[in-house]
Amino acid sequence: MNSMTSPLGKPVDRVDGPLKVTGQAQYAAEFQVPGLLYGSVVNSSIARGRILQIDSSAAEAVPGVVLVLTHANRPPIASYDKAYEDEDSADGASFRPLFNDRVLYSGQPIALVVAENLELARYAGSLLKVEYAAEPHNTDLRARLGKMHKAPAEIPPERGDVGSAMASARYRLDVEYSSPVEHHNPMEPHASTVHYLPDGQLEIHDKTQGVQNCMHYLEAVFGMEGQIRILAPFVGGAFGSGLRPQYQLPLAVMAALKLKQSVRVVLKRQQMFTFGYRPRTIQRIGIGAGPGGQLEALTHQAIGQTSSFEDFTEHVVEWSGMLYQCPSVRLDYRLVSLDMYTPLDMRAPGAALGVFALECAMDELASAAGVDPLALRLTNYTDRNGNQDKPYSSKALRECYEQGAERFGWSKRLPEPRSMREGNQLIGWGMATGVWEALQMPASAKACLGPDGRLKVSSATADIGTGTYTVMTQIAAAALGLPMERVDFHLGDSSLSKAPLEGGSATVSSVGSAVQKACEELRQKLLDATQQSPESPFTGARLEDVSFNAGNMVLKSAPETSVDLQQIIAMTGALEAEVSVKPGEKRNEYATSTHSAVFVEVRVDEALGTVRVTRVVSAVAAGRIVNPKTAGNQIVGGVVWGIGMALQEESQIDHHLGRFMNHNFAEYHIPVNADIGAIDVLFVDEQDDVVNELGSKGVGEIGIVGVAAAVANAIYHATGKRVRDLPITLDKLM
Amino acid sequence: MNQNSPTAGGIIACPITIELNGQTRQLEVFPWTTLLDLLREQLALTGTKKGCDHGQCGACTVLLNGRRINSCLTLAVMHDGAELTTIEGLADGDSLHPMQAAFVKHDAFQCGYCTPGQICSAVGMVSEGRAQSLGEIREQMSGNLCRCGAYPNILAAIEEAMPETRKTLGAVQTDAQKGVREVQP
């Protein structure tokens, strides 16, 4: 395999590209079902209390309205917490939609109005009269710091002697950083189309990163084991929002079961602010360093918000114990329960926050010690993960620093803040390091070579825009020496081979390894098939003696001996292999991570305080890159997210009402095309035979990590102002 | 309006005729139905996307009488006699429109949800003839949000497809030709 024609590592176009540019790719709300009814969700307007009464008479009087579903008339659902758990549950009791009269947060779904068409459902929803017994609520993290509790997370224990190392350090730093709530806001709103089949089974198109996760959730909540199939061939972005089943799904199912009819529920953009989010977080970093900036002590505390019913945790502080060489480290993580929904993993959960604080603090240390920010990182470079006291399976971060700096022109940077300008534009250059885990989850895949010569490969994973269809097609085509045009990859169907959630940058590593293994088994079966007859030229050959190339199996020692795979299949009939792959044991000896070095140029208008990120270089070490085109796009997207995080994104809460105020795209700002300048992505060479068979680490998260810090550091370099509270809006620079 | 027209909430649907992707369509629409909901829910043309329903994201962009418009912000009943092109109507059979082909080549999308709106908007922008530089393309494409953040690739795709797209506009007079601003050959 992997001959000259192998598609592995080639920047091939997306296999689903033509469907996407012609409007034929169908998303959850776009499947046509006969007799479909439309549901519109009504949300609570108080943040805490009880529903005393929902008067639905006016809504029900509207011709065409068929049902107003509330906690009072919903079909039976499980009462125990366990049934509501899913693969990405937080600690505690998961939210139970329409379970009872309790209101736990503002925006909680309290009713579903079902009608013959969308507009009627939405209009009738506005006619509900809801009477509440409101109770006092708390939504302000800072106001409730006195009530914080230890996060249920496995934080590495203190190492070294932080107290005395800090006391004797030449340079000491103690700074606080804060960041607001952010919402995922994929372009496609969450939606579920529930097809009620004649036998009462349900076939559901849902927006999700885990079709099997949603299937198991519904099976448990509704007691419908074996009666539910979830489909999600296309997902219009998710970034974590589809990791847990969202409430439109059980609501649509309730209505379908009650009415014995098909129902579609699509959330409005405003309702995309009524479930998970990146939590508001306050971080405190302490650094003690020697004369050259070498780290002697490091403390990192994070305080994040969570809900009243779950303790959401993410890896915020761990990065500070592993990114640099440091003998004494103390990490701490606390939570504050608020009357808001539970936070939810959002692109590079934890790392986007924790590395922002750490990498801004490193920049502050560089300034204090009078050393170049890049030189400071090299001074403190490590090849071991200090939290686990293990070597990295591979770590080409040094190459990221070198090649990124070269591409950016970092050596021309003048060290002093406000030292570079063009007219009234203050120019700033900043940099930061990025890091993310290189995970692998157990996953399965099936490969079937049919009589038509086509290879059908499948796994119940997802493609949320990450390129799964394309990359899996490449891996399968390479493994069997077939042109990509002869490979069909199927995903997004809960009836396919078991796959983990599509998240954490683990899909190539997990599902890709399973696809590779399934194709390897198929190779063995093909070889076995040719050896059935004693006069076969392949008699005695082992798998390593043959290669698969251009649709043929070839004897390596005698390349003229080859057989067309289709000829083998013509004899045997379709051949199939289904495998499950677990993370390899040799991973246990090592720490596995992706790394990046991010270099940013900003231009700040001295009079107006407006910030433009004009140039970014992101140098990434993520093992073998299966498709530089789609992987590069992932990094570009991550950088855009980092720019949004640094300068724009903030879900603002009216603490009096206990709800988000700016719940739309006009007021929750994300970057638009005009906000984005040149983004230069480079992948450094990184060989890794530990992380998985493919040597690939995943690139979905690493692109965002460190970007907000690099932007903040560049702004400091441009203006001399250190803004430690995201987003860095112009009012903070004036 | 005839007696067999559908009703909803006691309201009778109104007849309109539109030229949709080159075909004359006689339709009956309720007065509250947006052009976007007509396309997606009534005509099953789901290539046009709903991202916000408030004209803030551009996912619903279509070409109405050759000009780009947020189809969520306009009522279908207002467009009797109009000529409408959606993403489904851009390709010539199996042959992609130059803008579509450039989007594939430059990987100008990830999840694909904003893509039909981006492409329709880009074709509309070329027709307007005002974008003379990369900065102006960026600015004039800023009504179309892409949460995946594929903006640099969108820019590259549009830059490449502009000349070919101008040719496809053919006899259609650009805004610039109408005197809005001089256009480069």
> Least CB-CB distance to A21: which of B49, B113, B115?
B115
Q: Are residues B26 and B85 in the same domain?
A: yes
Q: Which residue of B has its CA nearest to A641?
A: B149
Mean pLDDT, rounded, of chain A: 97
Enumerate the residues of chain B whose CB falls inside 8 A of the CB of residue A464.
110-111
Q: Is residue B39 part of a domain?
A: yes
Q: Across residues A369-383, what is the average pLDDT? A: 98
Which of A14, A673, A680, A707 should one mutate to test binding to chain B, selecting the residue with the greatest count of B CBs within 10 A? A673
Distance CA A58, CA A650 (A): 37
Enumerate the residues of chain A whose CB falls inside 8 A of the CB of residue B46.
23, 26-27, 29-30
Q: Are residues B85 and B162 in the same domain?
A: no
A310 is catalytic: no
CB pairs under 8 A between A and B: 192
pLDDT at A1 > cutoff 90: no
Q: Which residue of B has its CA nearest to A24?
A: B47
Q: Is residue B168 part of a domain?
A: yes
Structure tokens at A37: 């009814």
Pick from A561, A504, A506: nearest CA to A538: A561
Give the model's confidence band at B177: pLDDT under 50 very low, under 70 low, under 90 confident, else very high.
low
DSSP A486: G
Facing residues of A679 across strands? A616
- Mark yes or no for CB contact B148/A671 under 8 Å: no
- Mark yes or no for CB contact A22/B96 under 8 Å: yes
pLDDT at B176 > cutoff 90: no
Q: Are residues B41 and B23 in the same domain?
A: yes
Domains of chain A: 17-24+441-582 (3.30.365.10), 37-136+187-238+242-273 (3.90.1170.50), 281-439+588-733 (3.30.365.10)
Q: Are residues B54 and B123 in the same domain?
A: no
Q: Which residue of B has its CA nearest to A464?
A: B111
Catalytic, out of A87, A520, A650, A701: A701
CATH code, domain carrying B42: 3.10.20.30
Give the model's confidence band at B170: pLDDT under 50 very low, under 70 low, under 90 confident, else very high.
low
- Mark yes or no for CB contact B96/A18 under 8 Å: yes
Q: Is residue B161 part of a domain?
A: yes
Residues 164-183 of B with CB under 8 A from A: none
The alpha carbon of residue A96 and the mean position of all alpha carbons in its chain are separated, in whole angstroms, by: 24
Contacts of A629 by beta carbon, 8 Å cutoff, 6+ apart? A11, A12, A13, A14, B107
Q: Is residue B12 part of a domain?
A: yes
Enumerate the residues of chain A whose CB falls inside 8 A of the CB of residue B92.
none
Q: Are residues B38 and B58 in the same domain?
A: yes
Q: Does ipTM top 0.90?
A: yes
Pick from A450, A429, A424: nearest CA to A374: A429
> Least CB-CB distance to B100: which of A21, A64, A234?
A21
CATH code, domain carrying B142: 1.10.150.120
Q: Is residue B120 part of a domain?
A: yes
Enumerate the residues of chain A whose CB falls inside 8 A of the CB of residue B88.
22-24
Q: Are residues B126 and B179 in the same domain?
A: yes
Q: Which residue of A has its CA nearest to B39?
A: A30
A172 min Cα distance to partner chain B (Å): 38
Whose structure tokens read 């990405």? A88
Output phi, psi for B128, to 5 deg.
Answer: -65, -30
A672 min Cα distance to partner chain B (Å): 5
Enumerate the residues of chain A whose CB falls inside 8 A of the CB of residue B149.
636-641, 671, 676
Output phi, psi for A583, to 5 deg.
Answer: -55, 140
Q: Is residue B27 part of a domain?
A: yes
Is the pTM for the entire model greater than 0.90?
yes
Give the CA dihedral B155, B158, B160, B161, nearest 10 degrees: 170
Q: Is residue B1 part of a domain?
A: no
Q: How far apart are the first and last CA of chain B?
A: 48
B77 min Cα distance to partner chain A (Å): 15
Residues 22-41 of B with CB under 8 A from A: 30, 32-33, 37, 40-41
Distance CA A480, CA A113 (A): 52
pLDDT in tens, A442-492: 999 999 999 999 999 999 999 999 999 999 999 999 999 999 999 999 999
- Looking at B89, B108, B141, the residue that finishes a domain is B89
Express as a percent the part of chain A with pLDDT over 90.
98
Which of A13, A20, A636 should one mutate to test binding to chain B, selecting the residue with the greatest count of B CBs within 10 A? A20
Q: What is the structure's pLDDT at A5? A: 73
- Mark yes or no for CB contact B32/A630 under 8 Å: no
For the beta sheet containing A455-458, the strands, ordered from the edge strand earlier in sequence to the opposite edge, are A487-490, A455-458, A443-449, A575-581
Output phi, psi for A92, to 5 deg.
Answer: 125, -150
Return the SS3 of A580: strand
Q: Are residues B105 and B179 in the same domain?
A: yes
pLDDT in tens, A652-692: 999 999 999 999 999 999 999 999 999 999 999 999 999 99
Report H helices in chain B.
35-37, 98-105, 115-128, 134-140, 151-169
Q: Are residues B169 and B129 in the same domain?
A: yes
Express as a percent the part of chain B with pLDDT over 90.
83
Q: Is residue B2 part of a domain?
A: no
- Mark yes or no for CB contact A268/B53 under 8 Å: yes
- Looking at B89, B114, B132, the residue that finishes a domain is B89
Beta strands in A518-567 (DSSP E): 546-549, 552-555, 562-564
Contacts of B160 by beta carbon, 8 Å cutoff, 6+ apart? B102, B105, B106
Q: Is B138 on the interface with A (CB under 8 A)?
A: yes
Region of residue A69 (phi > 0: left; psi between -120 and 50: alpha; otherwise: beta): beta
Q: What is the structure's pLDDT at B183? A: 37
Maximum pairwise Cα distance, chain A: 86
- Looking at B89, B123, B139, the residue that finishes a domain is B89
pLDDT at B25 > cutoff 50: yes
Which of A14, A21, A40, A239 should one mutate to test binding to chain B, selecting the residue with the greatest count of B CBs within 10 A? A21
pLDDT in tens, A65-74: 999 999 999 9
Give the model's confidence band at B4: pLDDT under 50 very low, under 70 low, under 90 confident, else very high.
confident
Q: Are residues B55 and B84 in the same domain?
A: yes
- Mark yes or no for CB contact A671/B149 under 8 Å: yes
Contacts of B93 by beta carbon, 8 Å cutoff, 6+ apart? none
- Mark yes or no for CB contact A639/B91 under 8 Å: no
Give the model's confidence band at A296: pLDDT under 50 very low, under 70 low, under 90 confident, else very high.
very high
Q: Would you report the helix, strand and coil content of chain A in percent, each value rounded to 5?
A: 30, 25, 45
Q: How many distinct structural domains can be found in chain B?
A: 2
Q: What is the structure's pLDDT at B8? A: 76
Its domain, for residue B11, covers: 7-89
Q: Are residues B55 and B123 in the same domain?
A: no
Write down how long chain A is: 734
Contacts of A428 by beta carbon, 8 Å cutoff, 6+ apart? A417, A420, A601, A602, A603, A604, A713, A714, A715, A716, A717, A718, A719
Q: Are residues B130 and B155 in the same domain?
A: yes
pLDDT at A3 > cutoff 60: no
Enumerate the residues of chain A whose CB falls inside 8 A of the CB of residue B153.
633, 636
In 10 A of CB A543, how many CB atoms? 14
Q: Are residues B106 and B69 in the same domain?
A: no
pLDDT in tens, B33-70: 999 999 999 999 999 999 999 999 999 999 999 999 99
